[in-house]
Structure 1
Amino acid sequence: MPPVGKDSGVVASEGPAADQTGQSALSADDAPFPLTDVDRWVLSLTDEQFPYHDWQDMTDIIRRNDLSTLKRKPSDLRKYMKWTAETKAEYGSMTNYLLCHRLPHTWGKPPFVPASLVPFEDPSDYRVLINDWPYGLTSDMTHIVVWTRTIIATDNTVGDMTSESRGHVTDFVHRFFIEKLGPGGEDKVLFFKNWVALQSVRALEHIHVIVRDVPPDVLEEWTKELECHRLAN
């Protein structure tokens, strides 16, 4: 990726970019969440100039824990900024929207009371969903988010997972995703948790799972709503 700055070889747009509907998108200064330097660089690009993350790139980024380099496609980032601003204006917060439309109503409202204090131990405490706003990945990959009402402990520096938390998450990813893919499954699954400073939805715990070459029926099985997520009639 070219360096961010005046010598990047990329000319920033002069005014608010338009999304694919022709409507003006938000400028970087009006972003409804903190933008990284990478985000600002992406906003200077067209979709045609954008370098997609491939599997090797994602593997290297996650291995280095270099999560600030993850990026969305320019048009998707602009849409995400616009949608986030509109959603916060309507619902007051992203948390309110997610609890209303995407996450189990059995969770109630924060502060949550999980069935287990161990992250991802009890199925009623987590919900697996396809990410509505994925990173800019090549077409062989799918971006999944696993939301949980159980606290995932982080350190007090950059907000990265503690070693104990990472162990719980690793066990869950292996049990829920890798084992269900059978032999070679470990070569098709990556996971990470954004540092607190990089999260656009900070009030709800979640991890990211990236999978490749997984058929639609398996994705559907992973993301189906469970009975424990439904309110009793």
Structure 2
Amino acid sequence: MGDNSVNLAPAAEDAPFPLTATDQWVLSQTDEEYAYHTWDGLRTIIQHNDLAVLKRKPSDLRRYMKWTAATKAEYGNMTKYLLAHRLPKAWGSPPFSPVSDTPFADPSDYCVLLNDWPYGFAPGITHIVVWTRTVIPTDPDTGDMTAESRKTVAEFVKRYFVDSLGGPGAAEDRVLWFKNWAALQSVRALEHIHVLVKDVEPAVLQKWTTS
């Protein structure tokens, strides 16, 4: 049986971050009822920019809510926690002073980490978060990336992830990426993108996240 204890997290109305309609639906489920995101399904979600439907397994979402509430109580906000434990000390505190004003142009301006709280994916899919101290421009009206930002990020993902898997062709079908709209971000003060990879060896994941 899955871990379905509803006491693992605060009540939905006391959630430590805004719950989407998808989150609220997930919390009404058991782990046995949950349908994992498949690779083809994720490709469709990202192609249609339908990011609000991304979901965690019910027990994982409850644990994430509980952990977020405890972390905010101890550190004040998620940014302080990440700066203290996950991101380079050399970055200092916001507002940052990146080496380059172009996102992902200088390696010292970004940090590649495995996601501590991934969405509920089918086996073989790994969730990576790339944090950057360089601002990624967004449309102020929609909160989504500008066309130029999308091009910049796509070029970085190809260079850093796709090319290391063998370049164009089959490797491109093993890498997806997205940037949550501002309204969906749980850590808005720190710029980041999400990268999903399929069937990547642990040694390669380690190389990406320790470079």
For the aligned pair, the TM-score class normalised by the smaller chain equals: over 0.9
SS in 1 for 2:7: coil
Equivalent residue, structure 2, for 1:173 = 157
Q: Are 2:209 and 1:220 equivalent residues in the alignment?
A: no
RMSD value, Cα: 1.2
Deviation at 1:51, TM superposition (A): 0.7
Deviations, residues 187-207 of structure 1 (Å, cap 9, x unaligned):
100000000000011100000
Q: Does 1:140 align with 2:140?
A: no
Write the mapping of 1:72-151 to structure 2, written as runs, cut at 5 A.
72-151=56-135
The answer to whether the aligner puts 1:162 opposite 2:146 as a matched pair is: yes
Q: Which residue is equivalent to 1:28?
A: 12
- The reply on whether 1:188 has 2:136 as its aligned counterpart is no
Displacement of 1:140 in angstroms is 1.1
Deviation at 1:18, TM superposition (A): 2.8
Measure the CA separation in 2 of the matches of 1:74 and 1:18.
Answer: 12
CA distance in 2: counterparts of 1:157 and 1:71, whole angstroms: 25
What is the CA-CA distance between 1:169 and the residue it aligns to?
Answer: 0.2
Equivalent AA in structure 2 for residue 18 of structure 1: N
Deviation at 1:156, TM superposition (A): 1.5
Q: How far, CA to CA, are the matches of 1:116 and 1:197 in structure 2?
A: 26
TM-score, length-normalised on structure 1?
Answer: 0.87
SS at match of 1:98: helix
User: Could you tell me how far apart the structure 2 residues matched to 1:197 and 1:142 are?
Assistant: 24
Deviations 1:56-85 (A, max 9, x none): 000000000000000011011111111001
What runs of 5+ residues in structure 1 fail to find an aligned partner? 1-12, 20-24, 227-233
Q: C-alpha separation between the residues in 2 aligned to 1:157 and 1:181? A: 36
Per the alignment, residue 194 of structure 2 pairs with: 208
CA shift for structure 1 position 185:
1.1
Please give the per-residue CA displacement for 1:174-230, whole angstroms capped at 9, x wherever unaligned.
Answer: 000000000521010000000000001110000000000000000000000x5xxxx
Give SS of 2:160's match: helix
Between structure 1 and structure 2, the one with the greater Rg is 1
In 1, Cα distance between equivalents of 2:122 and 2:181: 23
Deviations 1:109-142 (A, max 9, x none): 0000000000000000000000000000001100
Is this contact kept in 2: 1:158–1:197, CA < 8 A?
A: no
Secondary structure of residue in 2 paired with 1:111:
coil
Give 3-state SS (helix, strand or coil) of 1:35's partner: coil
1:139 partner letter: P
Aligned residues: 206
Q: What SS does the corresponding residue of 1:160 show, helix, strand or coil?
A: coil
Match of 1:49 in 2: 33
- Give ranges in structure 2 of 5+ residues lacking alignment: none
TM-score (norm 2): 0.96
Match of 1:230 in 2: none
Q: Give 1:219's aligned amino acid.
A: L
Name the residue aligned to 1:229.
Answer: none
Matches within 5 A, 1:53-64: 53-64=37-48
